[in-house]
Structure 1
Amino acid sequence: MAQPEATKRAEAVTRLWELKRLSDKHTAQGMPFVHFSMLLSDQVYRDGILAKAERANDPALRDMASELKALNLQGRLREAAPTNGAARASAAISADGISLGAGGSGGSGAKPKNSSRGLPLLGLAVLAVALIGGGVWFMTSSSGPKTIAVDDNILQNTVWKSGNTYVLSKLTFVESNARLTIEPGVTVRGKNGSALIVTRDASVHARGRVDQPIVFTSAKALGNRQAGDWGGLVLLGNAPVNRDAHIEGIDRSDSRGDFGGSDSNSSCGVLDFVRIEFAGFEISKDNELNGLTLGGCGDGTIVRNVQVHMGLDDGVEVFGGTVDLKNIVVTGADDDAFDWDMGWTGRVQNLIIQMHPDRGDNGFEGDNYKADMDAQPRSQPQFYNVTMISDPQGQKRHRAMTVRRGSGGHFHNVLIDGFTTELIDLRDEPVTRLVNDSTLSFASLIVAGTTPEQAFPQEAGEKDDDGGFVEAAYLDERRLEFVASTGLSEQARDVHEPRFSPARINYSVKPVPVPQGEFWDESADYFGAVRPGDRRDWSREWTAFPAN
């Protein structure tokens, strides 16, 4: 007797899920990451995956592929997702130990009581088809970590549970006053074209731990990841900016990209012990998302113990607002490591920048507003305890700082090592005025790996980009000291296993006292982001430096 078509399709869904699970265990042996929704909806994609599985080294994969081919699957195995809200509600369904949930809920339903072995194959498949039709799915055993596809925007308070992996496939917005809580140990994997965007009426609370950081990374397999695989993390808020503001990388007609307001004390949420890797997706020419983008975030936002690694554009970019950052590591940015614009007036302490030898432009690039360099609020961040590292033998020559277009700023207790092109470029006509009224200031900078002649080339004629301001005369021995060594070892330039703690060296220039206040670590009476001689510094146990 012929098998009923509904039963055949249900069996196919279940077996395709098992094929995906087997395949994902063998990505290092040549199997691609399998997109389950495409297995169901795209016959050409499905036939290609089955062909690869038939040639796999694993006999279980080969057998599963043969069984599926024997079913002679034709066309789509699921219908288009319904548009009603009920079908997309964040929920979790448990049945005899099989957990199925919509991505918005994080799979946090009640824990099943029984083993999954008792669930009939057909019942499992019917449940899978029902939830897949809703547009978001996960399917896994009730025990152990889960991999959860996030296919919808987050419109209500949601928790992403510790140990789980969440996969982004598009620009995913947290909106409608929702709060996304991300627990320690969560991994978020972004596919090409995806990003997590927290709108200004929502918030994210991502508190990792030193032993369980939260990791945002590429959805590609280890060994195949690279800068620009996905879009990165964007936080938008209601703090002041100096012009009408819409974040890069989001269509101008989409109001969810708007940010800025009048609340300096507002909060975009919390990032603590968070890593962001292989981000910075390019939307169009000169229109990229960065590793971490902060737009109009207020000083109620907590950003500390954050690493941005191997971003396609800037590592961190801050557009206006009053947000403070502490204990930040930026490694291998493809453009600028740390960029600001639009009137940012926040504070930074303990910042490590490592430029890779084959990529990158500036350590710092600071702007106020190109069209109105005196726009208010004026960008005027404060930096204390910064380490900036470049490789003088690298194929790319990096500039430590470019401050331009009316930006102020205050830079104190900075170690700069290995930057062999122009060291600090202060551009545009307002710079003399900003220096004279102390809106722009530098104090206690230690520089090694270059000479005064390399660091401050003469600017005359067409090269004069600052109205005759002479950086070398301003940054004299009272503010900046050229030395033979910053105390950093060559391992500080190691792109795979760097060590950022310098040896203790006495210099003629002395560090300036760190301001008092709850934000500041007043005990940081040294140059650079790491206390000299500290072998177990704050950056050691939660950061990572993968090549791909």
Structure 2
Amino acid sequence: MKKLILSLAIISAIFTGCSSSSDDAPVLATGDITGTFTANKTFAKGNYTLKGIVKVASGVTLTFDAGSTITCDKGTGDNAFVILNGGKAIMNGTASEPIVFTEKSEVPGSWGGIIMYGDAPIKGAGGLTTLLSEDGNSLNYGGTNAAHNGGTLKYVRVEYAGAKLADGQKENNGFTFYSCGTGTTLDHLVSYKGADDGYEFFGGTVSMTNAISYGNYDDAFDWQDGWQGQNNTNWYAYQEVKGNFGMEIEASGNNNTFFPKVEGVTLKRAAGCTPEDNASIEIDAFQFKKEGNGEFNNVIVDGYGTYTVNATTYNGAIVKIQDVTTNTNQVTGAKIKVTNTKISNTTQTTPIGATGSIVVSFPVGNFTTSTTTTGASLTAGTWASVKGASLIK
């Protein structure tokens, strides 16, 4: 009996000695993410290094666990995360543990951001249904698969993007979506301090919910090629230091019968924020050109005031129509609606044309104001914070 008791005591001591203290921090995974992935892979929660133009091939799913941080270094060359048409990225972050893509130097414009390709319908200049991407990858986009599914990006933040890749025609954005479809989930995303647009859509049918564009040098939100997302909600932009339009909206010169819809929009411009190019006058909340259109309801606009350059003062507007054709077909044709809008610290509080020859007159009910508008409704938290500072001002 004494031997049995002694044996049990020894076993108990062994297991007690081997148990982990509740204060021990978990060991996070590490490693490089590089090349083109041709087989499914899951990255456990960890701190990873992204090297080069990383691509997810068609038929392949790449999964990232919540709380992961993926860092690249512009000193090593071009970097970007690209989901090719037919590939999927599953990024299910959470409000308390977002998935973060960032860059070592923390300088805007240091990498190419997240780029997703699909085969949903587009309508490019001249009515073209396929085009070549301008991001440096030079890949075709466009197709007939309105339900394209590029995966799930949920609670994902992209920081310091906007670099030009290879011989790309222009800088990339925080998030770039080439003809992505309704099967793709875009929810609770943050584009933080990039050198180009926060988000840009090149055609497609995908929608985006609960999105923050913070401190991006060009436009907070931008699209072309007949993007027609129908279920967009809660878009929030805060422009500081440098920034152009809150939204730059065009349809590549096509008088489309369709248009995107966004419910709950907040566009804020900090005092002292100047256009990206000091010679430009891109200081309006909404700019429509090349047959751009859309419905926007429950909108807050604040801070789009005056800007002086070379002794000339320009007046920021709630809505600016850039060309006669857009005014005729989209405004008069009732394909642009900006309703229940609360406007403050903005010089032109009614829609105007870019020149005196463009006389803008919205049909009754298509441009309305409200004092009770709430704009984008977002819940603050870790997902919407950087270094402890909330991005929701």
Mapping of 1:502-521 within 5 angstroms?
507=371
Which of 435, 441, 446 is the aligned partner of 2:331? 435
Kindly indicate whether the alpha-carbon contact (under 8 Å) linking 1:390 and 1:398 is maintained by their aligned counterparts in 2: no
Please report how far the alpha carbon of residue 395 of structure 1 lies from its aligned counterpart in structure 2 after TM superposition.
4.3
* CA gap 1:477/1:407 in 2 versus in 1, 3 angstroms: closer
Mapping of 1:459-478 within 5 angstroms?
463-464=355-356, 468-471=357-360, 473-474=361-362
Kindly indicate whether the alpha-carbon contact (under 8 Å) linking 1:392 and 1:449 is maintained by their aligned counterparts in 2: no
TM-score (norm 1): 0.58
2:140 pairs with 1:268:
no
For the residues of structure 2 that align with 1:198 and 1:458, how far apart are their CA atoms?
39
Gaps of 5+ in 1: 1-142, 482-505, 511-525, 531-536
Kindly indicate whether the alpha-carbon contact (under 8 Å) linking 1:341 and 1:366 is maintained by their aligned counterparts in 2: yes
Alignment-derived partner of residue 229 in structure 1: 110
Moved more, 174-183 or 143-152: 143-152
Which of 184, 190, 204 is the aligned partner of 1:301? 184
For the residues of structure 1 that align with 2:195 and 2:146, how far apart are their CA atoms?
30
Alignment-derived partner of residue 12 in structure 2: none
Greater share of residues in strand: 2
Which of 375, 378, 388 is the aligned partner of 2:267? 388
Kindly indicate whether the alpha-carbon contact (under 8 Å) linking 1:379 and 1:407 is maintained by their aligned counterparts in 2: no
For the residues of structure 2 that align with 1:149 and 1:343, how far apart are their CA atoms?
37
Kindly indicate whether the alpha-carbon contact (under 8 Å) linking 2:217 and 2:242 is maintained by their aligned counterparts in 1: yes
Which of 134, 152, 174 is the aligned partner of 1:248? 134
Alignment-derived partner of residue 102 in structure 2: 217
2:52 pairs with 1:170:
yes
For the residues of structure 2 that align with 1:450 and 1:375, how far apart are their CA atoms?
29
Please report how far the alpha carbon of residue 457 of structure 1 lies from its aligned counterpart in structure 2 after TM superposition.
6.3
Which of 340, 349, 359 is the aligned partner of 2:233? 349
Greater share of residues in helix: 1
* CA gap 1:293/1:251 in 2 versus in 1, 3 angstroms: closer
* CA gap 1:379/1:343 in 2 versus in 1, 3 angstroms: farther
Name the SS of the counterpart of 1:474 in structure 2: coil
TM-score (norm 2): 0.79
For the residues of structure 2 that align with 1:299 and 1:288, how far apart are their CA atoms?
26
For the residues of structure 1 that align with 2:250 and 2:353, how far apart are their CA atoms?
23
Larger Rg, first or second structure (1 or 2): 1
2:159 pairs with 1:159:
no
Name the SS of the counterpart of 1:231 in structure 2: coil
Alignment-derived partner of residue 202 in structure 2: 319
Name the SS of the counterpart of 1:542 in structure 2: helix
Kindly indicate whether the alpha-carbon contact (under 8 Å) linking 1:350 and 1:529 is maintained by their aligned counterparts in 2: yes
Kindly indicate whether the alpha-carbon contact (under 8 Å) linking 2:283 and 2:304 is maintained by their aligned counterparts in 1: yes
- Which digits, 9 at most, give the CA deviation of each residue in 1:215-250, with x for residues without a partner? 0111x1xxx411112110011111101132222222
Alignment-derived partner of residue 367 in structure 2: 479
For the residues of structure 1 that align with 2:214 and 2:348, how far apart are their CA atoms?
26
Kindly indicate whether the alpha-carbon contact (under 8 Å) linking 1:388 and 1:417 is maintained by their aligned counterparts in 2: yes
Which of 270, 295, 306 is the aligned partner of 1:410? 295
Give the aligned CA root-mean-square deviation in angstroms: 2.5
Name the SS of the counterpart of 1:432 in structure 2: helix
Equivalent AA in structure 2 for residue 529 of structure 1? A
* CA gap 1:166/1:245 in 2 versus in 1, 3 angstroms: farther
Which of 214, 239, 247 is the aligned partner of 2:120? 239
Please report how far the alpha carbon of residue 542 of structure 1 lies from its aligned counterpart in structure 2 after TM superposition.
1.4
2:285 pairs with 1:374:
no
* CA gap 1:307/1:238 in 2 versus in 1, 3 angstroms: same
Percent identity for Structure 1 against Structure 2: 26
Kindly indicate whether the alpha-carbon contact (under 8 Å) linking 1:336 and 1:363 is maintained by their aligned counterparts in 2: yes
Please report how far the alpha carbon of residue 443 of structure 1 lies from its aligned counterpart in structure 2 after TM superposition.
1.5
Please report how far the alpha carbon of residue 366 of structure 1 lies from its aligned counterpart in structure 2 after TM superposition.
1.1
Kindly indicate whether the alpha-carbon contact (under 8 Å) linking 1:231 and 1:290 is maintained by their aligned counterparts in 2: yes
Kindly indicate whether the alpha-carbon contact (under 8 Å) linking 1:342 and 1:379 is maintained by their aligned counterparts in 2: no
Which of 267, 279, 283 is the aligned partner of 1:398? 283
Name the SS of the counterpart of 2:177 in structure 1: strand
Kindly indicate whether the alpha-carbon contact (under 8 Å) linking 1:447 and 1:480 is maintained by their aligned counterparts in 2: no
Kindly indicate whether the alpha-carbon contact (under 8 Å) linking 2:298 and 2:375 is maintained by their aligned counterparts in 1: yes
Please report how far the alpha carbon of residue 251 of structure 1 lies from its aligned counterpart in structure 2 after TM superposition.
4.0
Kindly indicate whether the alpha-carbon contact (under 8 Å) linking 1:156 and 1:176 is maintained by their aligned counterparts in 2: no
Kindly indicate whether the alpha-carbon contact (under 8 Å) linking 2:332 and 2:363 is maintained by their aligned counterparts in 1: no
Please report how far the alpha carbon of residue 311 of structure 1 lies from its aligned counterpart in structure 2 after TM superposition.
0.8
Alignment-derived partner of residue 345 in structure 2: 449
Alignment-derived partner of residue 53 in structure 1: none
* CA gap 1:208/1:470 in 2 versus in 1, 3 angstroms: same
Alignment-derived partner of residue 318 in structure 2: 423
For the residues of structure 2 that align with 1:475 and 1:419, how far apart are their CA atoms?
24
- Which digits, 9 at most, give the CA deviation of each residue in 1:38-87, with x for residues without a partner? xxxxxxxxxxxxxxxxxxxxxxxxxxxxxxxxxxxxxxxxxxxxxxxxxx
Kindly indicate whether the alpha-carbon contact (under 8 Å) linking 1:339 and 1:366 is maintained by their aligned counterparts in 2: yes
Gaps of 5+ in 2: 1-25, 276-281, 306-315
- Which digits, 9 at most, give the CA deviation of each residue in 1:500-531, with x for residues without a partner? xxxxxx72xx6xxxxxxxxxxxxxxx43012x
* CA gap 1:427/1:478 in 2 versus in 1, 3 angstroms: closer
Which of 343, 365, 376 is the aligned partner of 1:529? 376
Kindly indicate whether the alpha-carbon contact (under 8 Å) linking 2:337 and 2:367 is maintained by their aligned counterparts in 1: no
Which of the pair has the greater relative contact order for Cα pairs under 8 Å at 6+ separation? 2
For the residues of structure 2 that align with 1:236 and 1:458, how far apart are their CA atoms?
35
**How many residues were matched structurally?**
337
For the residues of structure 1 that align with 2:319 and 2:363, how far apart are their CA atoms?
9
For the residues of structure 2 that align with 1:545 and 1:390, how far apart are their CA atoms?
19
Which of 339, 362, 365 is the aligned partner of 2:248? 365
Name the SS of the counterpart of 2:108 in structure 1: coil
2:392 pairs with 1:545:
no
Kindly indicate whether the alpha-carbon contact (under 8 Å) linking 2:304 and 2:346 is maintained by their aligned counterparts in 1: yes
